[in-house]
Amino acid sequence: MNKKPSEILRDLINNNDCVRIAALGSSNTQRRLMGMHWFDYIELGCKAQFGKGSVLCCNMGVGGETASDLLNRFDRDCGRFAPHLAIITCGGNDSKPNLNFSRQEFADNLHTLYEKFSAMDTVVFFQTYYGCHLENMVPGHGEKLVDFMQVIREVAADCNAYVQDNCQDLQLRYIRGLSADMDDLLTEKGQRQARDFLRFLRKWD
């Protein structure tokens, strides 16, 4: 896939009356607090750039879910909505040591999600997590989370899909000494995540 993300989005908008965009994930995607959510910023950004009737966005996040859970409800949610573009953000729960998901199982689930979306002609953007303080996690979770973020990068490369690498961006910010505490309010984190995603979409400009 040689086109840039914005070119794909523009093509979708040019070829459809209204582009359906789905955000699929766990608590990082689900709306849980009052105020603007990161996916709201995506929706408003797209409407501001492409027109108020250009996109229809559906938040399909459910806190605590894994990639396996996303697959279990795929037909109910994604099959009915039939998105033109899907943003997948998972891995934090999959990497919990007590759930015992292997690296290969997680990769297989991501591949299956991609394949099911591709069968619907849905474009897939993967996302890695925004970081958190790994030392505050239960033993074994932090290391596995970092590894599962690498799995997302590898699956995206295998599928020739786009990946918004929030985790890598966070690491660079820490290295440069520019990062604020990532355990701040979810609203602030969501705004930052949305701004980063919109910058990602603007890479084509």
Q: How far is CA 150 from CA 103, 104, 127, 137, 160, in A?
A: 10, 12, 11, 18, 15
pTM of the model: 0.82
Express each pLDDT in 30-77 by its tens digit: 887 777 778 888 888 888 888 889 999 999 999 999 999 999 999 999
Express each pLDDT in 5-16 by its tens digit: 778 888 998 899
Q: Tokens 């979306």 sit at which residue? A: 117
Question: What is the percent of the chain where pLDDT is above 70?
Answer: 80
Express each pLDDT in 113-128 by its tens digit: 999 999 999 999 999 9
Question: Nearest 5°: phi and psi at 160?
Answer: 55, 40
Spell out the SS3 assignment of 170-192. Answer: HHHHHHHCCCCCCCCCHHHHHHH
Predicted local distance difference test score (pLDDT) of residue 199: 61
Give the distance, in angstroms, between the CA of residue 167 and the centroid of all CA atoms in the same chain.
11
Predicted local distance difference test score (pLDDT) of residue 50: 86
